[in-house]
Amino acid sequence: MSRGWEAIRADVLRRIQAREWGPGAAIPTEEALCREFGCARATVGRALRDLAATGVLERRRKAGTRVALQPVRRATLEIPVIRQEVEGRGQTYAYRLLADVMEQPPLPVLLRLRLPAGVALRHLTCLHSAGGQPFVYEDRWLNPAVPGGQQPDFAAHGANEWLVANMPYDAGDIAFSAAGAGADDAAAFGIDPGTPLFIVERTTWTADTAITCVRLAYMPGYRLRMTL
């Protein structure tokens, strides 16, 4: 065994996987473990905290540390910027703005952004392509009332890239789903309406102000991969 808190983490994980400490069972206290490993309590604590963060252990004050009854599989998804995703595949990226108008959004968008009825938002649609083929069709509603004032035109660069570079980010949510291609999607990709598409919907907030609400339709057959 090498050394350090990572070694302790590895050893604890090994014992859990070997069922030495079964699911739901309490493991020794930090004090007992640091006596066993011959290190400071902080070092054991670091290892156990890390295992708790990945869902392997559950810790509670006074109650002690126990093996998670139901090892939650947590996966971290790195949400890609489309340009980088395309270029990471070795394909050439291209971006084309299809429309940029002010209009009243449909009700679902208003609800998601928690805005009153009647307001007009900036409505952008654009197409990201990879190696000449349509890759993602983007349909975005942008709140013009966001701080920072001046909003650029997005003819050259994608709105997302402008946002990540210029807007402080607070919170948001993402949803994945499948949907049949609508008329717009079908036109953008040159496919039949109803073709199953992978859909990503994102809403972004900064301090109670809705920034943007975007729907990304990926090309047919797209797979989003994550590693555990």
Partner DNA sequence: TACACAAATATGTCTGCACATAATCCCGCC
Partner DNA sequence: GGCGGGATTATGTGCAGACATATTTGTGTA
145's tokens:
């009332």
What SS3 state is found at 155?
Answer: coil
What residue type is 73 in one-letter code? R
The DSSP bridge pattern shows strands 93-103 and 171-180 to be unpaired
Task: Give yes or no for a contact between 175 and 201, defined as CB atoms under 8 angstroms apart.
Answer: yes
Q: Which of 13, 52, 81, 167 binds DNA (CB under 7 A)?
A: 52
DSSP bridge pairs for 125: 99, 139
Q: Which of 22, 23, 64, 180 binds DNA (CB under 7 A)?
A: 64
- Identify the helix (H) or strand (E) that includes residue 167: none
Q: Which of 12, 16, 43, 188 binds DNA (CB under 7 A)?
A: 43
**36 lies in the binding site for DNA (CB under 7 A):** no
Which residues make Cβ contacts (< 8 Å) with residue 226, sequence separation at least 6?
75, 76, 77
Considering only residues 29 through 58, tell me which ones interact with a copy of itself, judged by CB under 8 A: 55
Q: Which of 4, 23, 64, 152 binds a copy of itself (CB under 8 A)?
A: 23
Which of DNA, a copy of itself, none lies near 193, with the C-beta cut-off 5 to 8 A by kind? none
Considering only residues 128 through 187, tell me which ones interact with a copy of itself, judged by CB under 8 A: 164-165, 168-180
Nearest distance, CB of residue 69 and DNA, angstroms: 14
What SS3 state is found at 98?
Answer: strand
Nearest distance, CB of residue 199 and a copy of itself, angstroms: 7
User: Judged by CB, which is closer to a copy of itself: 117, or 183?
Assistant: 183
